[in-house]
Amino acid sequence: MRNKNSILLTDSAFDLSTATHCSLLMRIGVDSFSYALVDTIQNKIMLVYDEQTYRPSIEQLSERIKTDPYLRLAFSQVKIACYTDKLAHFPESLFNKNSTFIQTALIGDFSSENLIQRREPKWALRSLMGFSENENNIFRTIWPDSRCYPVSSPMLQRIKTIEEDTALYMDFTAGAVYIVYWRSGELIFHQTFEISDADELNYYLLLLQELLALPMAQTTLCLSGIIHTDDDKYQRLARYFNDIRFILSEISVQSAFLNDMPLHYYTTLFTLYACE
């Protein structure tokens, strides 16, 4: 069931029978649920669904996938970026696939079937995500060949081509902010914070300034997600940062039905298409 905080946008030319050569991109955040369909032949976004202030439970997600007429289609590829608190990142050099010590110490005791690994070669990192058996079964039963990623993966993918050697990247949903900070070409920090207003955002800004010795006035701030120049959160950020930029996905967006939408709203969702 869709609520008042959801939006569904479709290309008028989208034919359901062509879904077999579409990629499904799904992002399940700490407080949001969204997906897009990309026609891989035309290199064109055909549909976008976005729902804010909502994170489906296991039961709700299973029901949604079974009943949503678009999610029940057959796709050529399915990519899912999913928030989980059972997530750890560590240097590639420390990884030993024959040892369970690191994964148990960092994210708990998960069977290998419910543990997902992803590499971030540019940053020489290995990510481990732990899902419950019920969560894993939903994806594997409905989309056996789906690929799951940490919710931060599209951000890490997008910043590969940002020229700044040092910058802070914030991606917003209605009630959360996802943060990545890199300095001198090295990934320093990334984390998710739930925030309800500009004052809570301000608290985390000052915390980052203290923890990371972050020179905000001299740091480029990259933004995407549910934020615009007139809202309170942007105005608060403008107090601290002199160089603020909205960044878009590098995927070519040729879809006329998105012309009236701020495309930075969907940067991370669309960038999931480029994640390997």
Look at residue 108 in the predicted model and tell me its pLDDT.
60
Look at residue 111 in the predicted model and tell me its pLDDT.
54
* Global confidence as pTM: 0.91
Among 30-34, 66-70, 117-121, 267-271, the least confident range = 117-121
Look at residue 97 in the predicted model and tell me its pLDDT.
56
CA distance 172 to 229: 13
pLDDT greater at residue 160 or residue 91: 160
Show the domains of the chain with their CATH numbers. 6-83+250-274 (3.30.420), 89-130 (no CATH), 163-246 (3.30.420.260)
What are the Cα distances from residue 257, in Å, to 23, 32, 44, 47, 273?
Answer: 18, 22, 11, 9, 19
pLDDT over 60 at 155, yes or no: yes
- Spatial contact of 150 and 90, defined as CB atoms under 8 Å apart: no
pLDDT over 90 at 177, yes or no: yes
| Strands laid side by side in the 167-173 sheet | 186-194, 176-183, 167-173, 220-225, 243-246
Q: pLDDT-derived band of residue 18, with 50, 70 and 90 as boundaries?
A: very high
Stretch 196-211: mean pLDDT, rounded?
A: 97
Three-state SS annotation for the chain: CCCCCEEEEECCCCCHHHHHHEEEEEEECCCEEEEEEEECCCCEEEEEEEEECCCCCHHHHHHHHHHCCCCCCCCCEEEEEECCCCEEEEEHHHCCCCCCHHHHHHHCCCCHHHEEEEEEHHHCEEEEEECCHHHHHHHHHHCCCCEEEECCHHHHHHHHHCCCCCEEEEEEECCEEEEEEEECCEEEEEEEEECCCHHHHHHHHHHHHHHHCCCHHHCEEEEEECCCCCCHHHHHHHHHCCEEEECCCCCCCCCHHHCCCCHHHHHHHHHHHHCC
Tell me which residue has tokens 């240097």: 91
| Strands laid side by side in the 32-39 sheet | 6-10, 44-52, 32-39, 22-28, 77-82, 147-150
Q: Which residues, 6 or more positions from 135, have their beta carbon under 8 angstroms from its beta carbon?
A: 58, 114
Stretch 216-230: mean pLDDT, rounded?
A: 97
pLDDT over 70 at 105, yes or no: no
pLDDT over 90 at 81, yes or no: yes
pLDDT over 50 at 51, yes or no: yes
CA distance 116 to 42: 31
Among 137-146, 176-185, 237-246, the least confident range = 137-146
Q: pLDDT-derived band of residue 1, with 50, 70 and 90 as boundaries?
A: very low
- Spatial contact of 34 and 27, defined as CB atoms under 8 Å apart: yes
